[in-house]
Amino acid sequence: MNLNVGDTVEFKNWEYMADNESKFFVGCFSPESGKITEIRNNGFFLIEDHKHVFNPRSVARVISSKKG
> What pLDDT shows up at residue 48?
94
Q: Bigger pLDDT: 41 or 66? A: 41
> What pLDDT shows up at residue 21?
62
Residue 50 belongs to some domain of the structure: yes
Number of domains in the chain: 1
Q: 35: domain range?
A: 8-64
Residue 3 belongs to some domain of the structure: no
DSSP string, 3-59: --TT-EEEEPPGGG--TTTSTT-BTTB--SEEEEEEE-GGG-EEETT----B-GGGE
Please return the burial class of 12, using the count of CB atoms within 10 Å of its CB with bins 0-12, 13-18 and 19+.
middle
Amino acid at 14: W
Residue 1 belongs to some domain of the structure: no
pLDDT tens-digit readout, 6-64: 999 998 887 767 666 655 555 556 788 999 999 998 899 999 988 888 889 889 999 99
> What pLDDT shows up at residue 42?
86
Q: In angstroms, rounded to a whole number, what is the distance separating the alpha carbons of residues 9 and 4?
A: 10
Task: Kindly report the pTM of this predicted structure.
Answer: 0.81
